[in-house]
Structure 1
Amino acid sequence: MTEKHIILKGTFVLTLAAFISRFLGFFYRMYLSHTFGEANVGLYQLIFPVYTLGIAITCAGIQTALSRHVAGYVAKGKKKETDLLLFTSMIYTVFLSVILMLFTQHYAHDIACTLLKEPACKPLLLLLSYCFPFAAIHCCILGYYFGMKQAKIPAWSQLLEQSVRILSVYAVYSFGIRHGQHFSVSVAVLGMIAGEAAAAWYCLHSLNSYSETLSSRKSTDILFLRRLCCLDNLKAFLSLLRFSIPLTVSRIMLTLLQCLEAFSIPWNLQYYGLDRNESLRIYGVLTGMALPCILFPSALTGSLATMILPSVAQIEAENNTQKLRRLIRKVTTTCILLGSTCCILLLLSSSFIGVCLFHSPLASRYIFTLAWICPFLYTNTTFISVLNGIGKAGISLFINMFTILIRIASIYLSIPAYGIRGYLTGLLLSQIFMFCFCFIYLHYHYRFNANRRTAGLT
């Protein structure tokens, strides 16, 4: 199977799984709202920045780095090293996640009162902490399979996680109703734990049926531990760790930005002259109606970015510049065409979506404005994945950091003067900057390498 067919097949599988999961999640949010009420669902939503930040700290960077390194080893025919790297990464991330779990449990009250400003979130945070070790195992194995260009296991684990989460909440709550017990929204957090545990178990179990995995290895434990502690494997893991640090920092900063946006946008809208209720209404329409419409097609580009990273890393390891340039050119063209098509469709249908589906003329205006970022937003996802694939995690971190600064500036400088339009303008400018910088950097990066080869310097 050619590289193109592998990427297309993996993208299709991951995209299908993502669409199904989002479809199930839509009705699940409706169920939670009807069952526990909007106020309790609000408490439940408040803990997600903590959850996302925890994943960013423990395993998000390692997953991407592992995917790239595994792809590089596969290209060199070093399959055994990939297994040892996976095992070493799992030890590191699980250890880190256990520390984070204990930290969250110890400071749950402080996090709830100081960061979230809602003491009622404390019991939810205590339960949430148990998700981190399972998520660490899940993320590492996903990174391993992505590096092997195997999309089937990650897709099924995503569907299993979502299904178990929904069914467990429904089963526990129904059991309680039949026996006269009324559970709080904490049941939804128990569902998160069940989903992560099921996904981690499935991913571990899948290793047993994979021909060259750790669990099917015939060597003795002593020999395995000797190989695990060998100097070469330690060097490989340190290389992976160095590569993952910029990714982890970038993910943490992006997560902190999301938290900052959640608090800062309503506050700065009040500086613009709106009262508290109107500020929250505008923020709710923007984040709960308009942005989900813009981001829904990103399931496709996100899947494409996930599949292209190991392919880029493998071609880079083979030192085949021409092949890599053709791949990047095709993927970039596809993303731009998809983004342009979505932009046109959203511009034409913004009134229908906002008024008929959400019953909000304000949502129509926001969708119309945000539609212009689609060609840049969808392509940038792939550009960042390409940069990570060729080992330029530091450049990726710089781009994300500068993009964050643009968005923060739009919040604190533009919103008080121009209202929410200032923030929307900042979003558009940040995506344009990212697109232009990535495009120019990749163009000159490969042009420079080509000139060096022509001059006989490589």
Structure 2
Amino acid sequence: MSRKHLLLKGTFILTATGFITRFMGFFYRIFLSHTFGEEGVGLYQLIFPVYALGYSLTCAGIELALSRLVARELTKGNEKNARQLLITSLFLTVSFSLIITFFLQQSSSFLAKNVLCDLRCTRFLLILSYVFPFAAVHSCICGYYFGRKQTKIPALSQLLEQGIRILSVFLLYQYLTKHSISFDISIAVTGLIAGEAFSSLFCLYAVRNHHLFGPFAPPAPSTFFNHTKELLCLSAPLTASRILLNILQSIEAVSIPVRLQIYGMTVKESLSIYGVLTGMALPCILFPSAITNSVSTMLLPTVAEIQASKHRMGLKNLVKKVTYSCIFLGSICCVFFITFGRWFGKTLFHSPLAGNFIFLLSFMCPFLYPNNTLLSVINGIGKTTLSFFINTLSLGIRIFSVWILIPHFGILGYLYGLLASQICIFLLCIFFLSNFLKSQN
């Protein structure tokens, strides 16, 4: 099968999966908002920066590095090296994740009080700590399959993860309600663990029984050391980028309710607005990005393969087509959300405020949707430090809007910062890629 067909097939599978899981998640968030209220959703959203930071520390960078290295090795015909890279990455990520689990269990109270500024999150963080070893296994195996440009297993595992998460929370809710046992939003945190546990077991089963790839023998110590060095060298900028971004996002997430209180709101009002924005409006805006996320996932190994084969015109044509398509999609979605955004908020979430946020956030779409694909191309050609710089600058703009603009303009100040940050990413990526592709002629 040609490179183009593989890219289109993989993108189609991941897009279909993304839409299904987002569709499921969309109604899941409606269920959470109706069951636990806007404040409960706000508390639930507070722990996600910690979740994202732990994920970044354990496996996010290594997953992308593994995908790129596997694609490179397969281009050279080194099937055995590709398999041994997976084994090495599993050892590294699971080891890191166990450290994070132990740390989070020992410091959950401190983090809840001093970082998240709400002691009610202590129990949520304790529950969350168990998710990371499962997420590490799931992430690495998906990265391996993405490097092979085979999306069936990652797609099925994503569906399984989302389905089990929602089903477990719903069944637990039904059981506790039936037996008149009090509960809170912590059951949704439990659902995160259930989803990752089942999906990681499924991925392990798939790899173990997929004999097409040959035996998965442990690498020799020297090979293990070389693969470890290669994985860490390539993943270090990606991991550092993710960590810094997650730290900044954590500062951003925790600071929004605090700065809204400085603006003049109560604690409940600030948490409610934060919950509506991050738990209702943003997921709605991000729903169509299932397409661009799928393209981004397939682009990284494809770009690495094209670069390894030194097919310069192929790379140039691919970047142009993908960029134009994503800009077109973003423009269509912008018009759609401007027209129907307020209706979505009132009808689906029973929240006029969510509708107003969706309307305002719609202006990000022409920049938001191409950005993931542009950054994926930059990572695919090995410029991971540049993507780190671009993301850091973007988050710096958002942090500025939280600390400087929110106290004066309320939540509108943050929305202005979001738009400015997405425009910044878009322009910097276009500028770099234009110059890079010209230099390849």
- TM over 0.5, shorter chain: yes
Where does residue 281 of structure 2 map in the other structure? 290
Name the amino acid aligned to 1:431: Q
Where does residue 310 of structure 1 map in the other structure? 301
Of residues 379-388 and 402-411 in structure 1, the stretch that sits farther from structure 2 once superposed is 402-411
Q: Tell me how far apart the structure 2 counterparts of residues 355 and 119 of structure 1 sit (CA, whole Å).
A: 32
Q: Tell me how far apart the structure 1 counterparts of residues 146 and 86 of structure 2 sit (CA, whole Å).
A: 12
Q: Deviations over 1:104-162 (max 9, x none)?
A: 11222222222223334333322221111111111000100111001111110011112
Q: How does 1:8-47 map to 2 (within 5 A)?
A: 8-32=8-32, 43-47=43-47
Return the TM-score normalized by structure 1.
0.88
Of residues 168-177 and 414-423 in structure 1, the stretch that sits farther from structure 2 once superposed is 168-177
Identity in percent: 52
Where does residue 446 of structure 1 map in the other structure? 437
Name the amino acid aligned to 1:87: I
Where does residue 123 of structure 2 map in the other structure? 123
Name the amino acid aligned to 2:324: T
1:80 matched to 2:72? no
Name the amino acid aligned to 2:426: F
1:262 matched to 2:253? yes
1:229 matched to 2:248? no
TM-aligned CA deviation for residue 394 of structure 1 = 0.4
Name the amino acid aligned to 1:447: K
Of residues 305-314 and 369-378 in structure 1, the stretch that sits farther from structure 2 once superposed is 369-378
Q: How does 1:414-433 map to 2 (within 5 A)?
A: 414-433=405-424
Of residues 283-292 and 46-55 in structure 1, the stretch that sits farther from structure 2 once superposed is 283-292
Tell me if the contact between 1:84 and 1:228 (Cα under 8 Å) persists in the aligned partners.
no
TM-aligned CA deviation for residue 442 of structure 1 = 1.0
Q: Tell me how far apart the structure 1 counterparts of residues 92 and 64 of structure 2 sit (CA, whole Å).
A: 15
TM-aligned CA deviation for residue 420 of structure 1 = 3.2
Where does residue 387 of structure 1 map in the other structure? 378
Tell me if the contact between 2:39 and 2:271 (Cα under 8 Å) persists in the aligned partners.
no
> Residues 361, 169 of structure 1: CA spacing in aligned structure 2 closer, same or farther, 3 A cutoff?
closer
> Residues 264, 126 of structure 1: CA spacing in aligned structure 2 closer, same or farther, 3 A cutoff?
closer
Q: Tell me how far apart the structure 1 counterparts of residues 280 and 245 of structure 2 sit (CA, whole Å).
A: 21
Tell me if the contact between 1:272 and 1:416 (Cα under 8 Å) persists in the aligned partners.
yes
Instruction: For residue 9 of structure 2, give the secondary structure of its aligned residue in structure 1.
Output: helix
Where does residue 456 of structure 1 map in the other structure? none
Name the amino acid aligned to 1:430: S
Where does residue 97 of structure 1 map in the other structure? 97
Q: Tell me how far apart the structure 2 counterparts of residues 36 and 424 of structure 1 sit (CA, whole Å).
A: 25
Q: Tell me how far apart the structure 1 counterparts of residues 31 and 420 of structure 2 sit (CA, whole Å).
A: 37
TM-aligned CA deviation for residue 48 of structure 1 = 2.5
Q: Tell me how far apart the structure 1 counterparts of residues 342 and 123 of structure 2 sit (CA, whole Å).
A: 42
Instruction: For residue 117 of structure 2, give the secondary structure of its aligned residue in structure 1.
Output: coil
Where does residue 324 of structure 2 map in the other structure? 333
Q: Tell me how far apart the structure 2 counterparts of residues 291 and 277 of structure 1 sit (CA, whole Å).
A: 20
Tell me if the contact between 2:43 and 2:275 (Cα under 8 Å) persists in the aligned partners.
no
1:155 matched to 2:180? no
TM-aligned CA deviation for residue 172 of structure 1 = 4.5
Name the amino acid aligned to 1:58: T
Instruction: For residue 130 of structure 1, give the secondary structure of its aligned residue in structure 2.
Output: helix
Where does residue 454 of structure 1 map in the other structure? none
Q: For CA contacts below 8 A with separation 6 or more, give which structure has more relative contact order.
A: 2
1:411 matched to 2:402? yes
> Residues 275, 8 of structure 1: CA spacing in aligned structure 2 closer, same or farther, 3 A cutoff?
same
> Residues 69, 404 of structure 1: CA spacing in aligned structure 2 closer, same or farther, 3 A cutoff?
same
Instruction: For residue 427 of structure 2, give the secondary structure of its aligned residue in structure 1.
Output: helix
> Residues 368, 180 of structure 1: CA spacing in aligned structure 2 closer, same or farther, 3 A cutoff?
closer
Of residues 44-53 and 172-181 in structure 1, the stretch that sits farther from structure 2 once superposed is 172-181
Where does residue 299 of structure 1 map in the other structure? 290
Name the amino acid aligned to 2:220: L
Instruction: For residue 436 of structure 2, give the secondary structure of its aligned residue in structure 1.
Output: helix
Where does residue 4 of structure 2 map in the other structure? 4
TM-aligned CA deviation for residue 346 of structure 1 = 1.8
Name the amino acid aligned to 1:198: F
Of residues 69-78 and 340-349 in structure 1, the stretch that sits farther from structure 2 once superposed is 340-349
Q: Tell me how far apart the structure 2 counterparts of residues 140 and 155 of structure 1 sit (CA, whole Å).
A: 14
Q: Tell me how far apart the structure 2 counterparts of residues 32 and 415 of structure 1 sit (CA, whole Å).
A: 27
> Residues 417, 111 of structure 1: CA spacing in aligned structure 2 closer, same or farther, 3 A cutoff?
closer
Name the amino acid aligned to 2:164: V
Q: For 1:217, which of 212, 215, 218 is the aligned residue? A: 215
Tell me if the contact between 2:26 and 2:283 (Cα under 8 Å) persists in the aligned partners.
no
Name the amino acid aligned to 1:81: N
- Answer with 1 or 2: which has the greater Rg: 1
> Residues 437, 179 of structure 1: CA spacing in aligned structure 2 closer, same or farther, 3 A cutoff?
closer
TM-aligned CA deviation for residue 365 of structure 1 = 4.1
TM-aligned CA deviation for residue 275 of structure 1 = 5.4
Q: How does 1:134-173 map to 2 (within 5 A)?
A: 134-173=134-173
Instruction: For residue 129 of structure 1, give the secondary structure of its aligned residue in structure 2.
Output: helix
Tell me if the contact between 1:415 and 1:421 (Cα under 8 Å) persists in the aligned partners.
yes
Tell me if the contact between 1:149 and 1:310 (Cα under 8 Å) persists in the aligned partners.
yes
Where does residue 367 of structure 1 map in the other structure? 358
Q: Tell me how far apart the structure 1 counterparts of residues 137 and 434 of structure 2 sit (CA, whole Å).
A: 37
Of residues 312-321 and 166-175 in structure 1, the stretch that sits farther from structure 2 once superposed is 166-175
Q: Tell me how far apart the structure 1 counterparts of residues 243 and 230 of structure 2 sit (CA, whole Å).
A: 20
Where does residue 54 of structure 1 map in the other structure? 54
Where does residue 66 of structure 2 map in the other structure? 66
TM-aligned CA deviation for residue 427 of structure 1 = 1.7
Q: Tell me how far apart the structure 1 counterparts of residues 182 and 358 of structure 2 sit (CA, whole Å).
A: 39
Q: Tell me how far apart the structure 2 counterparts of residues 68 and 11 of structure 1 sit (CA, whole Å).
A: 17
Q: How does 1:167-186 map to 2 (within 5 A)?
A: 167-175=167-175, 185-186=185-186
Count of matched residue positions in the alignment of Structure 1 and Structure 2: 441
Instruction: For residue 149 of structure 1, give the secondary structure of its aligned residue in structure 2.
Output: coil
> Residues 39, 286 of structure 1: CA spacing in aligned structure 2 closer, same or farther, 3 A cutoff?
closer
